[in-house]
Each structure stands twice: as structure tokens, then as C-alpha cells.
Amino acid sequence: MLAVLEDAIYECIFKCVLSRNRRGKRIFNDAYNWIRATGWDGPFVFEIICETLKLNHHGIRDGVIRWVEDARQRKQRPGGVAIRKTPHAVSASPRTSVSKAA
């Protein structure tokens, strides 16, 4: 279940938030809508996975939504930031870092 949550947040949301192609946008939208959805039933519902893993689904959901909004704002601003994957950086997510765009 942790792999499902990690894949949705990192592979689908963090990597595809600024995607320009149709496939990337669809991947992002599917995962983002999954995290934002409430009241679904089934074993792979975001809230059920978080409860099973003893994680605060409200905190994770709010954090992801804030991160997405910030990433979109930075992309639109002149002199904004670039989001790039680095293995040893400390940042908003365990696998991404934020650095000043050149």
C-alpha cells in the first residue's frame, strides 16, 4: 500500500505537475483527483491507504495540494524556480529539490 501512495505522489504528481503533453497531464490529473477525492469505497482509496499505514490523510492531502499550487505559481512567475530531481537534496519532497532557474 505504501508503494501505491508513493507512486501516486512522487511518480504521478511531483513528476507530472507541469507536464505539457496529454499523457503527463492525464497521469497528473488521475492521481491528483484520487488524493483529493473523499467518500470512495474500496481497498485502494487514498484515505483507506493512509489509515492502514497510520498516516494523517488530511495532512498529506493538504501538503500535496499546497505543493501543487506553489509549483504552478513558480512556473508562471518570471525568474521562477525549476523543479529537478536530485538524490541528495533536502526539499519539499524526499526526491525533489527546488533551485533557482538559470
Which pTM was predicted? 0.70
Task: Check whether 82 has a pLDDT greater than 70.
Answer: no
Classify 84 as helix, strand or coil. Answer: strand
Query: pLDDT of 3-53, one tens digit each?
Result: 999 999 999 999 999 999 999 999 999 999 999 998 777 779 999 999 999
Task: Check whether 102 has a pLDDT greater than 90.
Answer: no
For the residues of 1-59, what is the DSSP string, one character each?
A: -HHHHHIIIIIIIITTTT--SHHHHHHHHHHHHHHH--S--STT-HHHHHHHTT--HHH
Task: Residue 50: count other Cβ atoms within 10 Å of its Cβ.
Answer: 19
